[in-house]
Amino acid sequence: MTPSVKEISTWLKEAGATIKTSLTAELTIQEKSDRKDLVTNMDKATQRFLIDKIAAVDSSATFLAEEEGYSDQSIKKGRVYVIDPIDGTLNFVLEKENFCIMLAIFEEGVGQLGFIYDVMKEELYWGGPEVGVYCNDRQIKKVADLKLTEGLVGMNAYMYAHNRFNAYDIGEASMGVRVSGCAGIEMIAMLKGTHHSYVSNLSPWDYAAGIVLLSVFGFKYSNADGTPVKFSQREPFIIATPACYEDIFNLMAEKKV
């Protein structure tokens, strides 16, 4: 049985409260692929907490999650819970804000529900195609279909600095570039309508919840080459309002780097 939205929301808030408490304690921090790619005891504990809660209710649950050997699950079959226990771990460690917990539910490869919890602001963005999109208890209205020239674009810092996929040129054509270091925070900015697009290099758990929520508002997303996202590895990723997506895609196609 799928857990209810209320149950999942309660677990996310409970996990968030535990993470907040941990900010005053000493963290155990390990490097993964390089010195900027970190995992803490709280990433692992949060993922374990959510998996245990979900598995206790949903006996057929499978998990695609960032830490501890859950990263190879296919999205295509059955009910898959996609979890990023702390999105923006570097922000969590160094800024102590601007990080999220993200969870998405897919059935037979189709997104049903997405949850992005901004832990420090205690704002839970959740919803899906059947229910609409909410921030805590307040329903959010669909945002305007802005063109690239009309709004702010969220960017991956490396791609912007190195003009990967013409990211620098895309930024120049927009009203401005913003770099938060957290995919979840970028997804929230688009749900609120403060940014109209996001260009990055993401793994499935970085985009799963965001694409479920932003699809409700008609946002378009793909790999930078225009093919569907693969849910299997890190890949160049764009998501934007429909008008902005076309503008970004055309600029990217001008010169592939």
Query: Could you list the residues that contact ligand IPD (CB under 6 A)?
Result: 84, 87-90, 156, 181-183, 200-202, 206
- What region, left, alpha or beta, does residue 126 occupy, with left being phi > 0 and alpha being psi -120 to 50 degrees? beta
Least distance to ligand IPD, CB of residue 101, Å: 10
Record the tokens describing residue 209, joined without a space.
Answer: 């919840």
Measure the CA–CA gap between 183 and 178, rounded to whole angstroms: 12
Q: Is 66 in the site for Ca ion (CB under 5 A)?
A: yes
Least distance to ligand IPD, CB of residue 157, Å: 8
Contact mark string toward Ca ion, 183..222, x via CB under 5 A: -----------------------x----------------
**Shorter beta-carbon distance to ligand IPD: residue 92 or 217:** 92
222 Cβ neighbours under 8 A, 6+ residues apart:
228, 229, 237, 238, 249
200 binds, among ligand IPD, Ca ion, none (CB under 5 to 8 A by kind): ligand IPD
- The residue behind tokens 């830490």 is 67
Choices 21-29, 78-86, 128-136, 187-195 (CB under 5 A): range interacting with Ca ion = 78-86
**Shorter beta-carbon distance to Ca ion: residue 84 or 247:** 84
By C-alpha distance, which of 150, 144, 25, 18 is closest to 86? 18
Measure the CA–CA gap between 10 and 73, rounded to whole angstroms: 25
Q: Which residues bind Ca ion (CB under 5 A)?
A: 66, 84, 86-87, 206
